[in-house]
Amino acid sequence: MNTEKVVFAFFILLALTFNFGFVLGDIDNPAHHNVYELYAALVVSLIATVMKFGDRTHVGAVLLATSLVADLQLIMAAVVWGYAVNFSETGLDAAMMASIVSLSAGALLSNITSVVLLILETMMVRH
Nearest distance in Å: CB 37, other proteins: 12
Cα 125–chain centre separation: 26
Q: 103, 112, 125: which is closest to 13 by C-alpha? A: 112
Alpha-helical segments (H) within the chain: 3-23, 35-51, 58-86, 94-124
Nearest in space to 38 (alpha carbons), one of 117, 116, 124, 102: 102
Q: What span, in angstroms and rounded, lies between the C-alpha atoms of 27 and 34?
A: 12
Site string for other proteins, 85-124 (x = CB under 8 A): xx--------------------------------------
- Tell the smallest beta-carbon distance from residue 106 to other proteins (Å): 20
Which of 9, 27, 35, 98 forms a contact with other proteins (CB under 8 A)? 35
The nearest distance, CB 126 to other proteins, in angstroms, is: 26
**Coil vs helix vs strand at 26:** coil
Of residues 2, 53, 89, 124, which one binds other proteins by CB under 8 A? 53
Closer by beta carbon to other proteins, 77 or else 118: 77
- For other proteins, the binding residue among 2, 54, 89, 123 (CB under 8 A) is 54
